[in-house]
Amino acid sequence: MPIDAPENSGNKKSSKLLFPAGFLWGVATSAYQIEGKNSNADWWSWEQQGKTRESSGNACAYWDFWKKDHELLSELGANSFRLSLEWSRIEPSEGQFSAAAIRDYREILQDLKKRNIKTIVTFWHWTSPIWFAEKYGLHKKESVEKFLRYGEKIMDELGDLIDIVVTINEPMVPLGMGFLTGKFPPGFKNPYRFFRAAKNLAQIHKGLYKSIHAKRNIPVGITYLYNYYFSAGNNILEKIANSAAKWFRVNFFSRKIKGFEDYVGIDYYRLVRMKFDPKNSNYFGFRIEEDKNNVMGWISYPEGIYRVLMEVSKESKLPIYIMENGRPTNAGLEDAERTEFLNSHLAYVGKAIQEGADVRGYLHWSLLDNYEWLEGFRPRFGLVEIDYQTLERKPRKSFYAYKKIIENNGLE
Ligand code: BGC
């Protein structure tokens, strides 16, 4: 469905960089990474098998403390919040939907509405119920029907409280990690199953797109992990590897769902530079260059978000939402690195908007420190620090810096 263009606030004056009126400012999260105790999920079993650095356990206990976290959203001044629904909570056994879980999600969404916060809801952020993983899995064609039934249920029970849908978060991550490298569940290294799963996931998205629109006129899309792939110098092999990596992450799936998106959802984090390294088997003889000073080795590259936005604008007429952008650190409350990250990236988002990119919103990853999949709790992504012993929440300086940006609808 078409999304109306926002009015241009038209203020380019002085040294302020203002964003369009009605711009969505918010934060992004995912259920499994914050809720805690999602013991019916395949990822939970994965943790029990020792495949991750740590187990998610209580995570941030958002399931118990969401009221506190929504208070933080209001204090931040966010007008949008991206959260995901945990399929394994909603349908803990096949065909049996949990009325209690649905009621709790209704309360969560209603509370956001009361606060005037737009709800951006992801239907699948990588975790599936154990029954689904054991009996079906994305590589089996029955997965499509099972997934679509879950989608119908969401729309029937919660659809009236949803403003924007992300059907699937970054499909190529669970597909690549789950079916090619074997690092995520179901742990296959099987190209045949990979292609089957990719085909089914694309069909799932298209099915959801149609069934959501049959019930409600809201924007529907997916997110792409869309980092900036770059090769310095003239090494032709590296250039090919970088183009191939970008094609795999973005174009492989976008081509399969062409015409079934109302917006382009971008998750941008870093510069990815593939370097030739014949000993590395993970990426077929290449490795991703690392920043030795970063907790996950990620190279921060603010200009990359501008380049990505301009690239997307050239290729598509659809509105763009930055559905995730953030930095893993081991910061305490001072957190100068995240503040600098926010300012520099948003300056480039503003530049892209001024040059015509139709960006409608920016969601920072993340509100809270959270469970970072294979890496456990070590990388800190939060504007708010979590003390994992007491589960106390403490806003960092970056929280207040972002609050100010939101208040001003832009940068000084
Ligand atoms: C994922 C998140 C993850 C973040 C940081 C994104 O690609 O959607 O689940 O926590 O990256 O790695």
pLDDT of 1 higher than 70: no
The first and second tokens of residue 147, run together, are 């997934």
CATH number, domain 21-407, options 3.20.20.80, 3.40.640.10, 3.30.1600.10, 3.20.20.70: 3.20.20.80
pLDDT tens, 126-137? 999 999 999 999
pLDDT tens, 304-326? 999 999 999 999 999 999 999 99
- pLDDT at residue 4 in the model: 57
Pocket test for ligand 1, best of 27, 373, 381 (most atoms within 8 A of CB): 373
Residue 39 burial by Cβ neighbours in a 10 Å radius (0-12, 13-18, 19+): middle
Mean local confidence (pLDDT), 181-195: 97
Query: How far away, in angstroms, is 12 Cα from ligand 1 center?
Result: 33
Spatial CA neighbour of 65 closest among 34, 93, 91: 34
Query: How far away, in angstroms, is 328 Cα from ligand 1 center?
Result: 10
Mean local confidence (pLDDT), 379-408: 98
Residue of the CA atom closest to atom 9 of ligand 1: 30
- pLDDT at residue 275 in the model: 80
- pLDDT at residue 303 in the model: 97
Residue 238 banded pLDDT, cuts 50, 70, 90: confident
- pLDDT at residue 14 in the model: 55
Query: How far away, in angstroms, is 214 Cα from ligand 1 center?
Result: 30
Spatial CA neighbour of 282 closest among 392, 410, 182, 409: 182
pLDDT tens, 135-183? 999 999 999 999 999 999 999 999 999 999 999 999 999 999 999 999 9
Nearest-angstrom CA–CA distance, 83 and 85: 7
- pLDDT at residue 2 in the model: 46
Does the bond joining 56 to the residue before it have cis omega, within 30 degrees of 0?
no
Residue 13 banded pLDDT, cuts 50, 70, 90: very low
Residue 12 banded pLDDT, cuts 50, 70, 90: very low
Residue of the CA atom closest to atom 10 of ligand 1: 372
Query: How far away, in angstroms, is 260 Cα from ligand 1 center?
Result: 23
Nearest-angstrom CA–CA distance, 193 and 289: 29
- pLDDT at residue 10 in the model: 45
Nearest-angstrom CA–CA distance, 16 and 12: 7
Mean local confidence (pLDDT), 236-260: 93
The first and second tokens of residue 203, run together, are 């069909």
Mean local confidence (pLDDT), 112-125: 99
